[in-house]
Amino acid sequence: MDLGTISDEVAQHTLNSALLSSEVRLSDQPEVIQEAIKRSSIKLTPKQLDTAFKCWNSTVCKLGDGPVTIGMPDWDATIQWHKLNKMSMILQAMTYPSVGKLMFTDGQNEMAKYQADIRSLASRGAHVIVELNSFGKSTYPANRFAQKLGAKVVTYISPQPDAPSDTITSQIHLDSCAMGKAMARIADQKLRLTRRTAIFNGVPGNPLGVEWNRCYEQAVKKSRVGVKLDTGWTPAGTFSAASAVVSSGKNYSAILFDYADPVPQVVDAFDKAAIRVPAIITWTDNNGLAKIWEKKQGTPGAFPLWYTTSHMWSSRASVTIGMASLAGHVPAEILSPAPFVQAKRGLYEADRPDDYPGSDVMIPDELLSRMLKTG
């Protein structure tokens, strides 16, 4: 496919859609990211979209006669974001005629199975493995095994600090320290918070959380962190954490979180206690949260909300990075931008389910509707 047919204007529009912001210039990004965004701008044919849908419903699929096989391990394929992310990676892979086969696994949120899945994909012939690694260094032995067999391992979103080159070929991840600092600027300059705040994290020791927590606490000037709680990024865990904040009897001015999907449970916990929801600064976006936020606008229960893109575009980029690594050198580390956005009316999409990540998923509407109907 000739990327020369994709204009700079079209590519910039694609990036703006992916980030929900126009403040990042594509021309300032590394060449491999520029290529990834241009490939994401390619309009696939109806026949290709049919193939993508069939592939999405499979654990192994054949795209064509190309020699390259890509393995895509998931640590929990039941989450809506992960389901849509799978399609995002499929669509990116389809822009490469040299990709003939895709393989998918589900770690079922168990580290040992996730490790085994990486080894299995490599043993079954994956040339490239793209992974959303939330288990950090625990996966390095499996990654090392995969690379010894010749696979190129690329990770996305979560940073893998000090990862040896024999475990990860390249990683594209959020600049989690910059994200923490950005959250501090919002707290200080936009919300002008002066009371204590609460930080909600996912799983203990997750490198992404450790880094942004540290940088937020170092940067924030006018408020202080009163409590940090782990949620497992689950609705139940988040409701439990929010309930602990409520039952403490202390007045928290904001809750900071790195995952929007379970944030409606925060609102639920405060509503059940008849306590006003504090300001929320979160990474990613979620349609259910948008619905709740819009419903409360114009009422005494309205609360400020800041959020970011769902980051799904970086999984597309990881496919391009993996393919580029087969052809030659790629940067060992690439930082993906993620500007924060203040919620405004119109954020909620009534024709999408509550667990829909938002308009930045980069999946054609007709295909997306088809996917959502099947769950």
Q: For residue range 262-293, list pLDDT tens digits in order.
A: 999 999 999 999 999 999 999 999 999 999 99
Place of tokens 């865990």: 237
| Predicted confidence band of residue 158 (pLDDT cuts 50, 70, 90) | confident
> Is the pLDDT assigned to residue 159 strictly greater than 70?
yes
- Indicate if the pLDDT at residue 375 is higher than 80: no
Q: How far apart (Å, rounded) are the C-alpha atoms in residues 99 and 67? A: 6
pTM for this prediction = 0.90
Contact 281, 256 (CB under 8 A): yes
Between the two ends of the chain, the Cα-to-Cα distance in Å is: 31
| Residues 348, 309: Cα–Cα separation, whole Å | 14
pLDDT in tens, 48-90: 999 999 999 999 999 999 999 999 999 889 988 999 999 999 9
In this model, does residue 17 exceed pLDDT 90? Answer: yes
At residue 43, the 3 state secondary structure works out as coil
Look at residues 118, 95, 94, 93 and name the one whose alpha carbon lies nearest to residue 107. 118
Average pLDDT of the chain to the nearest whole number:
95
Q: In what order do the strands lie in the sheet with 254-257?
A: 225-230, 197-201, 254-257, 279-282, 305-307, 341-342
What is 3-175+311-339's CATH number, 2.60.120.260, 1.10.8.60, 3.40.50.2300, 3.10.620.30?
3.40.50.2300
Where in the chain are all domains bearing CATH 3.40.50.2300?
3-175+311-339, 176-307
Residue 374 is predicted with a pLDDT of 87
Query: Which top CATH class is 176-307?
Result: alpha beta
**329 confidence band (pLDDT: 50, 70, 90):** confident
Residue 345 DSSP SS3:
coil
